[in-house]
């Protein structure tokens, strides 16, 4: 169980680092960074960890690479497309405070 949690924590850290790189790319796109981000996506989602459930989820995500990396072709696209969820989350946060 410890292995699974450590593996998941490591992956999540790498995932959020990658997400921040995508945000930075949107603000300042370049051909070099575009290629680096494509390569990092393949490394992040193409590497098996030994944690079966995580590896299965990573394979499903890797299969959607072209859709998920549209931001590299069109930096104006949002990185997520769920404003309703964001609005609901804001309301919940206000309610908690």
Domain hosting residue 84, numbered range: 2-96
Of 10, 43, 9, 36, give the one whose Cα is nearest residue 21: 36
Q: Model pTM?
A: 0.79
Total structural domains in the chain? 1
pLDDT tens, position by position, 6-20: 999 999 999 999 999
29: phi then psi, degrees, rounded to nearest 5:
-70, 145
Q: What element of type H or E holds 47?
A: none
Query: Which residue matches tokens 């459930």?
Result: 53
Q: Distance between CA atoms of 11 and 13, rounded to whole angstroms?
A: 5
Percent helix, strand and coil across the chain, each to the nearest 5? 75, 0, 25
Give residue 3's pLDDT: 77
pLDDT tens, position by position, 41-87: 999 999 999 999 999 999 999 999 999 999 999 999 888 766 666 66
Decide: helix, strand or coil at residue 30: coil
């Amino acid at each position: 169980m410890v292995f699974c949690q450590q593996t998941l924590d490591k992956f999540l850290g790498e995932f959020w680092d990658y997400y921040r790189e995508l945000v930075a790319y949107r603000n300042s796109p370049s051909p070099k960074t575009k290629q680096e981000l494509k390569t990092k996506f393949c490394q992040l989602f193409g590497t098996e960890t030994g944690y079966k459930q995580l590896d299965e989820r990573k394979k499903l995500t890797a299969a959607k690479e072209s859709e998920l990396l549209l931001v590299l072709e069109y930096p104006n696209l949002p990185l997520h497309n769920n404003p309703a969820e964001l609005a609901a989350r804001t309301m919940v946060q206000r309610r908690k405070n």
